[in-house]
Structure 1
Amino acid sequence: MRGRDRINSCLPDELMVEIFQRLGSKSAHDACSLVCKRWLGLERLTRATLRVGASSTSDRFFKLLAARFTNVRNVHVDERLSISLPARLGRRRRNDQFADPALLFLRMHEETERKSVADVSESSSLSDDGLAVLGEGFPKMEKLSLIWCSNISSVGLRSLAERCMFLKSLDLQGCYVGDQGLAAVGECCKQLEELNLRFCEGLTDKGLVQLTAGCGRSLKSLGIAACAKMTDASLEAVGSHCQYLETLSLDSEFMHDIGLLSVARGCHYLKVLKLHCANVTDETLRTVGRCCLSLEELALHSFQRFTDVGLHSVGNGCKSLKSLTLTDCNFLTDNGLGKVATGCKQLTHLEVNGCHGIGTLGLESVGKSCPNLTELALLYCQRIGGRALLEIGRGCKFLQALHLVDCSIIGDDAIISIAKGCKNLRRLHIRRCYEIGDKAIVAIGRHCKSLKDLSIRFCDRVGDRALIAIGKGCSLTDLNVSGCHQIGDPGIIAIARGCPQLRSLDVSVLQRLGDIALAKLGEGCPLLREIIISHCRYITDAGLSHLVRNCSMLETCHMVYCHGITSAGVATVISSCPNIKKVLVEKSKVSERTRRRAGSVITYLCVDL
């Protein structure tokens, strides 16, 4: 009944909190918090996660957060992100007495939040005092991410560790903390399960050794990268104390076999192993194959000192392996990959990137032996030919994603085989594969009705005929045809008519594209959120106007080097799209009025060099 508030008068606080806790998205939480002051207070009690940009933020800001959101369990602080003051929503009316009451409440709430944040926004970043405030304000915190917070030290980390004894996940990426702080975490946080130490240059072996001695039994995930003062002694401590470790990500030129051998022998529950270590040899992988029988994911990057011998051991022992990534491993051949394929029949994800010793035979083994493969990425593989994908099409019926980059001898027949055999394909990304043309993409449109994401960048033989088939057969959400010079208005119009769910479109460097295509996109794709039309010489302000008339959800628009677009077109995009977040354009095409109105969403391309 109008004028009566039955919800607030009948439902107790406990039930309202239970309802708010079941809301899925942040936007739903935000909408509920704007209904009334009671809902605002109750909704704050249900917030479990806070994400904060630390740059230009004072420590007093965290006191304000702690006072308002008392039940937070997860805090993410990123020094790279700036706090932006709340923007005004909607257009100011001449007389607010005719405005929607909900809009008036929203404005008042914005003004309150604006003043509160402005009072505490000073030119300083998170410090040790701020960490102490976080510890005091959120003693039940379980997950903390401190990304590139350069002003914190061991003093602040110790004060936080002493207060947050229930901490389970700690990310210190790019923080210059010392060994004493890390030791304090091991001493106080006995439930710690995840630890990320990427780019923590101030740490030595002493810190990690003391941490593993304190909470090693609970640690399940560890990441280390670019820590020059850490040696094999750290990994030996991990192998001795962290017997339940499941994930290890290591990027270091100072680690050798001795440390990883200790991990492989001591951490029998290891499931994920990601290594970028130039000094590791076959001996490590042989031990992994013998001891880590639960391994499910293996990623090897830039290894120059191991051969097929190590992969043979993995294939013989790691029968549960599901994901394999090989990047710039020059001494691996078809023999090693074939051994993994025949031994690890549960493989679902395979990426081969720049391994010039691997060719067609190795991929044929995968097609014959790994029927559960769902994702395949072949990047810069000049020796892998079409026969490999013919075998994948015959044997891997569940393939959902295929990525091809610079595979110069893969042609139409290979993609046709994929289209006919892998009808569950949902994502196809092809870049600079010059032997792939219309025939291949037409087959995809005819057979792969579940395709949602298509990217065919700089494939000179793909034209309008291919996109017409895609528009008839698939309902895409993402399309990238950048640099496909034979595509023009007919192909994009077919997409506009056949793909009403399209959210992202990149048609940059299409010299045949004009305003009519943009007009049809505006009519047929109202859900479009991102469009890139850079280097399209025949698109003008008129086309942009037709596009944004119906695409009110647009958030991103790139339009550099479009000679037909002027400052009027840029202003049209800004004024017609209330959700716009980023516009990339030349500085000369932004009027002073547009700059004042939406300067925060405009990114300039410098052309005055």
Structure 2
Amino acid sequence: MDHKKGTTASAIVGGYSLLERIPESILNEIFSRLEPETLTTLCSVACVSRTLNSSVNKLLSSFSSVDLSAFSVDSQTFDGIIRRFRKIEKITLDCLRLNDSSIRSFLGPDVEELILLKCSSLSYRLLSSIGRTCPNLRVLTLEFSGFIDKSAVFDLKLEDSLGSCRFLESLRIKVRGGEINEYGFMLLGIYHLLPQTVKILKLQPASVLDTVIYLRTFNYTNLGILIAPASFGQTLTHLSLVLDCITDVLLRSIAHSLPLLAELDLKDRPTSEPSDDLSDVGIQSLVGCHHLTSLSLVRSRQHFATSFKRTTDMGMFLLSEGCKGLESIRLGGFSKVSDAGFTSILNSCFNLKKFEIQYASLLTDLAFQDISKAPRSLTDIKLVSCSYITSEAVRELASCSDLEILNLLGCRSVADSCLTNVSRLKFLTTLNLGGADVTDNGMSVLGNGNAPISTLSLRGCKRVTDKGIAFLFRNEGKIRKSLSSLDLGHMPGITDDGIRTVVDGSLGLVDLCIRNCFHVTDASVEALGLKGRRFESEKSKVLRRIDVYNCSGLSIESLRLLKKPLFCGLQWIGIGRTRLICGDVGLDEIQKERKWI
């Protein structure tokens, strides 16, 4: 035993000595050619050598951009990281476990782009001071959760922050998970505060009344004095709002007040059937937006099944004739628009690259009957919950040889017969077949195909079993090498055998969802944990995200499998509604071991 210890110590000293002999200039040259993502590994090994540590520190100090959004670091860890950077101009952070002092440590005149995610734990006084501390800010994003202290929101004095940002070009404020009627007051009157330099504005939530008042072309005061339109509207090119209701008045106000608008993204979440709803008149007003290249109008079904009932094919005809320069269009909840209306957009907008339709109850295969004859280069097609779309339409869509994204979520009549065409798409990287009527035979087709699919969703495909997963990964197609994200949620035919096939067959999988797979047990968790150890020496990608929500077959014993050294590289895990959350002590131990998970 003593002999082994001495040998090990000698090896370490010898290796250390060799590293010290390498000229620092050579290490600096090597590191300067590495991708930023490699620095995570470099930082972890820098401690083995003074020369290596010095070179890593010099390289980090030369970087002006930092993105830590993939990690939930604590304040102590963050402070240790941020000290290595000399000058920070752009920074993106997950603030869930950070405090005010950590954020203050890097704020200053050098910062031009600041993106703070999950920042509800930060004080609103700190957030209100950002503009004064960072006067050269060009991009500002603040993302809150819906669980915020309403009484403290009044400390969020945006006028103090926005009034000092003379160069601000992009502003995004988002409250995640909050209802519009509950948190809309946070952003009331914000249009008053926006500097004239703002080009990109994204707000969630936003009041339609507040928006109309400040976007109206002309307003009259109580004294009858004519007021010019809002000054920031003359420079705005991108507008994204989540509202209580999209109306004709809103679209007219936007079209008349924003002459340079190139991208419009509106989503509403009505809590009741709207009395003043969007109609063909409102759609027609968008014809005045001569620079418009991207349009998104979506009605959410979050509260109840509702739709735009006053918009018809005529509105789509007018839109397609007046906005022929559209490159991207997304329409959700237009229940009165038929094939004729959607086809008019496809036939008129020759520059169209992205085409997305959601919850269109009148859309059928006829809309895509002659799509191969039209001169366009579609790269992104999404048909979500369009129940009358079948395999015939998908075969036509597969004639778009430049297709990179195909989303057929909720299209229940799509079956195996179209997958041969899909598998031949040479640029297809994302395929969503969630809820489709595909089977194990269809997986065999995909497993032999040439499509370099990196993201695949089979969620809710009840006719796909372990046998289909075997076909997917054991054949000679590209998918087993290209796949990095796989969703097998809500699939009763998936068991431990299927998960073991995924572990053995996928070479670069980093994201796996098996939520609501009731036949998955601890054996699957163990196989997934061992995957990281097995491929770590080969420098292969390891699993970073795993979702086992509501996998009732898991026992409390799975907790020990989440401890080191298994699951090397794991950053996120979903364990809600499983027995794993019953082991409070075990979870505490895991959180101590994996502080960033």
Residue 543 of structure 2 aligns to which amino acid in structure 1? L
Q: What's the CA shift for 1:395?
A: 2.8
2:393 is matched with 414
**Of 183, 189, 192, the match for 2:168:** 192
Farther off after superposition, 550-559 or 536-545: 536-545
SS at match of 1:192: coil
- Cα deviation per residue 1:77-115 (whole Å; 9 max; x = unaligned)? 554x126xxxxxxxxxxxxxxxxxxxxxxxxxxxxxxxx
Q: Number of paired residues?
A: 518
Evaluate the alpha carbon distance shift between residue 187 and residue 277 of structure 1 in structure 2; reply closer, same or farther with a 3 A threshold. Answer: closer
2:171 is aligned with what amino acid? L
Tell me whether 1:472 sits opposite 2:448 in the alignment: yes
Alignment of 1:523-602 (within 5 A): 523-539=504-520, 550=531, 552=535, 553-559=542-548, 571=560, 576-585=566-575, 586-587=578-579, 598=590
Letter in 2 for 1:37: N
- Determine if contact 2:528/2:567 at 8 Å carries over to the other structure: no
Equivalent-residue separation in structure 2 for 1:407 and 1:516 (angstroms): 33
What corresponds to 2:293 in structure 1? 322
Q: How does 1:332-343 map to 2 (within 5 A)?
A: 332-343=311-322
Q: Name which of 50, 55, 64 aligns with 1:48.
A: 64
* 2:491 partner SS: coil
Distance across 1 between alignment mates of 2:237 and 2:374: 26
| 1:73–1:141 contact (8 Å) kept in structure 2 | yes
Higher RCO (Cα < 8 Å, 6 or more apart): 2
Residue 85 of structure 2 aligns with which residue? 69
Of 23, 37, 47, which aligns to 2:53? 37
> Is the contact made by 2:556 and 2:579 (CA closer than 8 Å) also made in structure 1?
no
Amino acid at match of 1:518: I
Question: Which residue identity is paired with 1:82?
Answer: R
Secondary structure in structure 2 of the residue aligned to 1:434: coil
Alignment partner, residue 333 of structure 2: 354
Q: Letter of the aligned partner of 1:311 in structure 2?
A: I
Q: For the structure 1 residues 600 and 534, does the alpha-carbon distance in structure 2 shift closer, same or farther, using more than 3 Å as the test?
A: farther
- Indicate conservation of the 8 Å contact 1:523/1:547, yes or no: no
Any idea what the Cα deviations from partners look like across 1:156-206, whole Å, max 9, x if unmatched?
845x65554333333445596769954544565433333345569xxxxxx
Contact 1:29-1:43 within 8 A present in 2 as well:
no
User: Does the CA-based 8 Å contact 2:208-2:246 persist in structure 1?
Assistant: no
Q: Distance in 1 between matches of 2:127 and 2:395?
A: 59
Amino acid at match of 2:569: N
Q: Match for residue 402 of structure 2? A: 424
Q: Superposition RMSD on alpha carbons, in Å?
A: 4.2
Residue 583 of structure 1 deviates from its aligned partner by 4.5
In the TM superposition, 1:151-550 aligns within 5 A as 152-154=123-125, 157-158=128-129, 161-174=131-144, 182-185=158-161, 188-198=164-174, 226-227=184-185, 230-231=188-189, 235=191, 242=196, 244-250=197-203, 251-255=206-210, 257-262=212-217, 267-277=233-243, 282=248, 285-286=251-252, 288-289=254-255, 292-302=258-268, 304-315=276-287, 317-328=288-299, 329-395=308-374, 397-419=376-398, 421-445=399-423, 447-459=424-436, 461-473=437-449, 474-497=451-474, 498=477, 499-500=479-480, 501-539=482-520, 550=531
Q: Which amino acid aligns with 1:334?
A: D
Alpha-carbon deviation of 1:511?
3.0
Q: Distance in 2 between matches of 1:56 and 1:520?
A: 34
| Distance in 2 of aligned mates of 1:271 and 1:155 | 29
Shift of 1:427: 2.1
SS in 2 for 1:367: helix
Which runs of 5 or more residues in structure 1 are unaligned?
84-124, 201-224, 603-609
1:348-378 superposed Cα distances (whole Å, 9 cap, x missing partner):
2221111222222111102211233222222
Q: Distance in 1 between matches of 2:78 and 2:553?
A: 48
Shift in Å at residue 418 of structure 1? 0.9
Give the TM-score of the pair, scaled to structure 1.
Answer: 0.71
Alignment check: 8 A CA contact 1:297 1:324 kept: yes
Between 587-596 and 403-412, the greater mean CA deviation after superposition: 587-596
Give the distance between the partners of 2:20 and 2:59, measured in 1 at CA: 18
- Change beyond 3 A, Cα 1:468–1:264: farther
Partner AA of 1:307 in structure 2: S
> What corresponds to 1:99 in structure 2?
none
Change (3 A) 1:192 1:294: closer
CA pair 547-180 structure 1, distance change in 2 beyond 3 A: closer
Give the TM-score of the pair, scaled to structure 2.
0.73
1:364/1:388 contact within 8 Å kept: yes
Return the alpha-carbon distance in structure 2 between the equivalents of residues 267 and 432 of structure 1.
39
SS in 1 for 2:494: coil
Letter aligned with residue 248 of structure 1: L
